[in-house]
Amino acid sequence: MDTHIFSALAEPHRLSIVELLRGGPLTVGEIAERLDLRQPQASKHLRILLEAGLLEVEAVANRRNYRLRREPFRELDAWLKPYLNLWNERFDNLDIYLQKLQAKNHPPDSHS
């Protein structure tokens, strides 16, 4: 797993940019406006996200549209999957344990 991805996403404004771009491509001006940033700040964050491989940019006339790349997020998902499976297994085991405890403390009524 490329640690540049984690470094890029660790900064709150960059994470917000990624969240914004989930809705589709945007220009630096649109990103700056929606996040209440100055355009040079937004450009700096976009450059870092580009360098980390999270974004791609497409020039259309005099506009540059930024969009998310799928590959790094698939890679991130694949890296996280074993941890998710581990936690799900642990929560399942905890649930089973709690059900057994509850059954032990509250036996079913034997009135018939």
The predicted pLDDT at position 110 comes to 55
Residue 1 pLDDT more than 70?
no
Q: What is the pLDDT of residues 27-76, one digit of tens each?
A: 999 999 999 999 999 999 999 999 999 999 999 888 999 999 999 989 88
> What's the rounded Cα separation, in Å, for the pair 108 and 112?
11
Please indicate, yes or no, whether the overall pTM of this predicted structure exceeds 0.85. Answer: no
Name the one residue in this structure whose structure tokens are 């997020």: 73
